[in-house]
A and B are shown apart, each in its own frame.
Chain A
Amino acid sequence: MNVLITEYLRINLDSEQWECRRCGHAHGSARENYKRGLLVYDRDPREIHKPLLDPAKYERTYSPDPTWCRILEYYCASCGTMVEAEYLPPGHPPLHDIELDIDALKAQWKDRKEVVEPTIGPDLALEKALHRRALHKEHGHAH
């Protein structure tokens, strides 16, 4: 049985492996950091958040400062899907961001039915914001 953990990761409870949800590639033991099975690239943030102001005129251009901020891009080694984009100061140890108790997970899913596609929950925060705007409009404000 597979348990969906993120948009791109699942845990195969039978093999106890992290797997890619796009291509099925096994990244490594679910008891270890999944990042160990991925490829990493140190991206200059200016390539993603491009300077909008002329760098010849200004030092600050809406781009992050590449001496303060780097983007670590994590790719599936098999299909190249980008699993994570981690923003860190240069040299900072990457975060072990998901560390699950696999035995407890197995016990938890013993009686659960496998979920193949995640359900989509209601966007309640947005609903509340829109409701508030509607009320505001009722009070005579135009927007």
Chain B
Amino acid sequence: MNVLTKDEDRALREKFLADNMLFLGPDPEIMRNHSLAPRTAAEDDILGRGVDKHQTHHIRGLINAALSEAFTMVNQMGAAPGAKWGDLVTGIYTNSGDLAMIAPHGIIAFAACCFYPIKFIIKYWVNDASVGVRDGDGFIHNDARYGGVHNTDQSMMMPLFWKGELICWLSSTIHEGENGACEPGGMPAAAESKYDEGIKMSPFKVVENFQLKRDLVTFLQNSVRDPKLQLEDMKVKLHAVMRLRERILAILEQYGRDALIGTLRSHLEDVEVEMRRRIAELPDGTTRVLQFMDSSLRESAMQKVACAITVKGERMTLDFRGSAPQFLNRCVNTNVASFKAALCTGLLQNIWPDLPHTMAVLSPIEILTDRNSIMDAEGEMPQSMSLMPMFKACVVWTIPMNKLNYSVPHRYSAVIASQYDQAATFVYGGLTQHGDVTGNFCSDINGMGQGARSHADGEHSVSPVFGFMADSGEHEINEEDTPIIRLGAQRLAKDRIGWGKYRAGMGYEQIATVRGTGLWGFMTGCEGSKFPSAQGLFGGYSCPSYQLMKIKGINIFAELEKNPKVVEVFDIVELMNKQPIQGAQYSSNDMGMTFEICNEGEIYMICQGSGGGYGDVLERDPKLVMKDLAEDLMSHENARDIYKVVYDATTLVVDEAATKALRDRTRRERIKRGKPFDAFCKKWVTKEPPAHIPYYGSWNDRTTIYATSYGRRVAMPADAIQGAFMLNPKDLRIAELEAEISRLKKPPRPAKTTKTPAAKAGVKKKSR
């Protein structure tokens, strides 16, 4: 009898376990590693022999052009609103699955996520006889747990073979929107478990011989509210990737295998080297920032995002430990792979936009998180509104990196305060005026205000926080497809500004209603209604808080027919303060709203937001203050109270001497009222979070995490986070009302026998 050695025995057991794995879920070995794969033998051989830098640069240009062409195809032909306005990408990956390059106008995070599912396919499907990876195959995926921003985004991933060898991978991703979740539009704020999130595609083969497999396409169409969109965009992505394949094959024909493989790998390695060089230019030390998210989208909940950036030589660490714990039954969690993709986006959007758009920028950075925290949530946690922590990741660099970067003699990009970071757009769903079922979101998500710069004001509604190239869209096109009517659009939100020496770019008002539909509703997924979201820099103020306004119980079209002048101007502040429509219910609400029916002519109003301001308001040039007044961006009250400018309100001529005197006096007042820091802290700092705030995260010690779970405040060690369970807000409200009813129903106390003064005096009660 053959006796197995210890090693043989272990190998046999490991093979048995690998062959009999019951479920190929997200693989931590893939999902927790954001660094470049080691060189393959081929890469090592090619780079070892040395690459021709000029040729590499030329091939890089050809790949860029090919990616750009494929991007334009998707952009022009895609059916999803996300595709029309730039929420898409095309990318190319090494044969190990590392993201090498993306289309110059594409969304970085989409591609930065895609290498996870490609690595999954390489690890599990290449050698699986029942699946396999062959020329002409295409794979689809949407579940962020296998890599992805969120489950609204669908990717088409294709291996590229040349002369029988798998050379690289290609992809195309679109924010499709609808995915059959418990609320229409693909980003359900109401999701309480991952099973409320709609279809969850692990990476699987949906294309063979360059043809979509119709049985699988039908299954997917049957799983979502917009089957036409599902089919159309699968075709669009497939054909864009096929066109990209043709262009890359042409490069292979002309320059050969080694040139392409060498270009992709050296591109990644060069970026990594440049990142290390830039990190080494920074001063050694630690800078920190705190961000606070004030809503779970179902209730107010103060969640802390703590970030410390530490530099030592050419090493950088991002430490998020001490942040909020995951929610067991709220969907504002994200997994760490998606969170890192958002960090990658933020670095390339806000700090060093001149670097090539590849995941290699993050490769040399160590990222620390608490397991089971809101940015490192376990796979069972709902994460359909992972945008909330991910948008924070996009801007989290801004404040601490500027504090590290400011001293560096050479600037690679401007010093900019935080951009507005909320998904301030209407997510919608229902029956269109054409009788189709649909669900998606409006492209206003792309109109976030820029942070103020160290040399100039921020730009209004410049782009989304996750991609500088996406557009805020055209409502006329949306109105053709959906029953949404814009009563007010792209009107800058006056006075809602991140103040500073340079003010932030502002957001705009969105006033929407519906017409000609039997069933329609809206959802919004934002926080920042209690605690402002976009942070100022170097003494600049944050943006204000924003709310969702509603005018319900009326039909604005009927009102306008009765009296065309019932509303002078569709301006949120005026409408809410003047309340011109009789009989309407006006309300101001938190910005997070689960799906709600909007009847014909009811009005929903939100704003895209302002970024953060830069510098001391007292240093703002009075001429710029007058310019803001002239452009009606701001009221006189703020010009006087915030900026302390003395001027003639009619002519807007500044009294410079009086302004200087007022500002000098204001500075003296500051000195008078300010307290020395240590003395201030003695009175200010509390041992624990205030009892009235449902607080999530560390307070003064990052190893202790606070949460309110099952309605009670708990504290737990950061290395053993349990996650918070939230009570149903409706149950809480019902309990509150029942208690009130019970109080009202209590029999009145029996009257005391002692006579009242009136009775004593013999006064009789009047009969009614």
Interface, chain A (partner B; CB < 8 A): 3-8, 33, 35-42, 45, 47-50, 52-54, 57-65, 67-69, 71-75, 77-85, 87-101, 104-105, 108, 112-113, 115, 118-126, 128-129, 131-133, 135-136, 139, 141-143
Contacts and interface: CB of A to CB of B under 8 A. Distances in A.
Contacts of A122: 354, 411, 413-414
B455 interface: yes
A45 B642 CA distance: 12
Given A49-B544, A60-B588, A112-B409, A125 B471 contact: no
A126 B409 contact: no
Contacts of B668: 80
A98 B287 contact: yes
B415 interface: yes
B670 A82 contact: yes
Given A3-B407, A84-B538, A118-B406, A49 B674 contact: no
A141 to B, nearest CB: 7
Given A4-B407, A97-B287, A132-B468, A80 B667 contact: yes
A62 B700 CA distance: 29
Interface string B695-712: 100011000000000000
Interface in B728-756: none
Given A41-B675, A60-B529, A87-B535, A53 B681 contact: no
B516 interface: no
Contact of A119 (B294, B410, B589): B410
Given A80-B666, A90-B690, 19 more contacts: A45-B532, A47-B641, A64-B532, A68-B531, A75-B667, A77-B671, A80-B670, A83-B539, A91-B685, A91-B689, A94-B681, A97-B287, A104-B283, A120-B411, A121-B414, A123-B414, A129-B468, A131-B469, A143-B474
B531 A89 contact: yes
A132 B469 contact: yes
5 shortest A-B CB distances, which residue pairs? A39-B674, A80-B667, A121-B411, A91-B686, A100-B285
16 contacts: A7-B454, A40-B676, A53-B576, A54-B576, A69-B292, A81-B539, A87-B532, A90-B690, A92-B685, A99-B286, A105-B284, A118-B454, A121-B414, A123-B416, A125-B413, A131-B469
B198 to A, nearest CB: 30
Interface string B302-313: 100000000010
B616 A82 contact: yes
Nearest to B577: A54
Nearest to B68: A135
Contacts of A7: 406, 454, 501, 537-539, 614-615
A25 to B, nearest CB: 11
B38 to A, nearest CB: 31
Contacts of B289: 95, 97
Chain A facing B: main interface SS: loop
Contacts of B529: 60
Contacts of A90: 686, 690
B701 to A, nearest CB: 10
Given A53-B577, A62-B544, A120 B283 contact: no
Contacts of B540: 85
Interface string B350-374: 1001100000000000000000000
Contact of A52 (B406, B454, B474, B495): B495
Contacts of A98: 285, 287, 403
B118 interface: no
A140 B670 CA distance: 54
A81 B667 contact: yes
Contacts of A74: 539, 674, 677
A112 B412 CA distance: 17
Interface string B678-693: 1011001110011011
Interface centre among B105, B312, B400, B671 (most CB of A within 10 A): B671
Contacts of A99: 285-288
Which among B539, B642, B676 has the highest number of chain A CB atoms within 10 Å? B539
B541 A85 contact: yes
Nearest to B498: A49
Nearest to A42: B684
A131 B676 CA distance: 48
B448 to A, nearest CB: 11
A115 B285 contact: no
Interface string B378-412: 00000000000000000000011011001101111
A77 B674 contact: yes
A121 B413 contact: yes
A5 B400 CA distance: 11
Contacts of A119: 409-411
Given A62-B547, A88-B290, A133-B471, A41 B670 contact: yes
A34 B573 CA distance: 41
Nearest to B664: A80
Q: A7, A35, A48, A97 — which one has the most chain B CB atoms within 10 A of its CB?
A: A7
Interface string B622-662: 00000000000000011001100000000000000000000
B423 to A, nearest CB: 18
A29 to B, nearest CB: 13
B413 A87 contact: no
Contacts of A53: 573, 576-577, 588
A126 B459 contact: yes
B453 interface: yes
Contacts of B456: 123
B354 A123 contact: no
Contacts of A104: 283-285
A8 B530 contact: no
Contact of A73 (B284, B474, B670, B700): B670
B463 interface: yes
B349 interface: yes
A47 B349 CA distance: 32
B667 A49 contact: no
Contacts of B614: 7
Given A53-B577, A67-B692, A95-B289, A83 B670 contact: no
Nearest to A78: B671
B450 A126 contact: yes
A4 B404 CA distance: 10
